[in-house]
């Protein structure tokens, strides 16, 4: 259950003293965050975090491909992944749009013009789309009283393409850190913001590079920890935040693929060992399931030793 919160997680100022505030989603909506899974924050600081972290992360080619493949629906509808490609035989540039319904192919420069006359000499495309595009161009020319001869259609029934995409591991790691911090705020409210843990997380978010996390008190690991690390499942995001042995331990797992465990001091957080919450988000339904941290850790331990 979400804890009481009166402070902005980014400025540590009372929300009541900030002119404009809005909802800050614990996870970006672009990767399937439920709308109600959010905390309150300064609108200005929220916008800064979006520009610096959320937008680059959500538009990362690898992240968009994962979101598409696991059926994520964003504000604008089902997520698609548009990737660059080339035709193997000619090296011509192509755009490939992947979706749950298949893929669409388009030449980056579909219209070829005669360098001397400037008129269209060819229209390239895939399937019926090329023919329809050519007919549209012919109609446009006809409005200018110019007769355009479309000519013969040449088709390659099985074009071979080279498709590639990249993933920015730095920005993915930064998003994991941001999600972990907001998860602590969602679980422990103002105490997570105004404590040493909150101060450390904010330093981490401000860092250009996070190679020296240990130097300001933030421990991070991708090594599986029994009880904290959950079983990898596709089509899910799983988060857990709990107090253990005077440490605030928070785990973030996205798409059953990317995971990070963040450990900060629990000084200033009034909670017993094991107190906290585990949240599981089902991407296929957009639903969120909350579980007491102790029960979730017991299940995680069982899965850990069975795997």
* Residue 242 phi, psi dihedral angles, 5° rounding: -155, 160
Domain identity same for 241 and 124: no
pLDDT band, residue 89 (cuts 50/70/90): confident
Domain boundary among 107, 134, 163: 163
Q: Is 243 in the same domain as 150?
A: no
User: Are the C-beta atoms of 243 and 266 separated by less than 8 Å?
Assistant: yes
Domain that holds residue 96: 81-163
2 found inside a domain: no
Domain count of the chain? 2
Query: Can you tell me the distance from the alpha carbon of 43 to that of 32, in angstroms, rounded to the nearest whole number?
Result: 21
Nearest CA among 186, 218, 222, 185 for reference residue 201: 218
Handedness of CA 100, 101, 105, 108 (dihedral sign): negative
The mean of the pLDDT values for the chain is: 87
CA distance 252 to 294: 17
Identify the domain boundary among 163, 187, 206.
163
Same-domain check for residues 226 and 106: no
Longest dimension (CA), the chain: 81
* Contact status, residue 276 vs residue 243, Cβ threshold 8 Å: yes
Same-domain pairing of 118 and 182: no
Q: Does the pLDDT of residue 154 top 60, yes or no?
A: no
- pTM equals 0.86
Query: Domain check: are 301 and 175 in the same one?
Result: yes
Strand segments, DSSP code E, in 245-302 are 247-254, 258-265, 276-282, 287-292
Give the position of tokens 């330093």: 203
Q: Is there a single domain that holds both residue 302 and residue 172?
A: yes
HEC assignment per residue over 107-170? ECCCEEECCCCCCEEEECCCCHHHHHHHHHHHHHHHHCCCCCCCCCCCCCCCCCEEECCCCCHH
Same domain for 282 and 295, yes or no, is: yes
Picking from 163, 197, 219, the residue at the C-terminal end of a domain is 163
Q: If pLDDT is split at 50, 70 and 90, which confidence band does 293 have?
A: very high
């Amino acid at each position: 259950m979400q804890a009481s919160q009166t402070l902005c997680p980014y400025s540590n100022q009372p929300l009541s003293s900030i002119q404009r505030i809005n909802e800050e989603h614990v996870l970006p909506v672009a990767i399937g965050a439920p709308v109600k899974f959010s905390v309150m924050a300064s609108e200005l600081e929220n916008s800064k975090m979006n520009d610096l972290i959320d937008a680059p992360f959500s538009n990362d080619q690898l992240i968009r491909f994962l979101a598409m493949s696991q059926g994520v629906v964003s504000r604008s509808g089902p997520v698609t992944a548009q990737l660059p490609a080339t035709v193997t035989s000619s090296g011509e540039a192509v755009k490939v749009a992947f979706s749950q319904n298949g893929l669409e192919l388009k030449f980056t420069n579909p219209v070829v013009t005669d360098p001397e006359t400037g008129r269209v000499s060819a229209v390239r495309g895939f399937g019926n789309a090329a023919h329809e595009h050519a007919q549209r161009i012919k109609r446009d020319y006809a409005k200018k009283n110019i007769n355009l001869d479309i000519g013969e259609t040449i088709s390659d029934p099985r074009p071979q393409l080279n498709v590639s995409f990249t993933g920015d591991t730095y920005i993915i790691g930064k998003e994991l850190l941001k999600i972990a911090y907001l998860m602590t705020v969602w679980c422990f409210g103002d105490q997570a913001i105004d404590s040493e843990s909150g101060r450390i997380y904010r330093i981490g978010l401000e860092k250009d590079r996070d190679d020296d996390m240990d130097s300001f008190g933030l421990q991070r690991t991708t090594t599986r920890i029994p009880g904290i690390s959950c079983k990898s499942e596709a089509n899910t995001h799983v988060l857990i935040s709990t107090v253990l042995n005077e440490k605030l331990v928070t785990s973030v797992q996205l798409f059953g693929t990317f995971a990070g465990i963040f450990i900060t001091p629990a000084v200033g957080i009034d909670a017993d060992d094991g107190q906290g919450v585990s949240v599981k988000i089902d991407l296929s339904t957009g639903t969120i399931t909350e579980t007491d941290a102790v029960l979730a850790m017991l299940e995680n331990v069982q899965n850990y030793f069975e795997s």
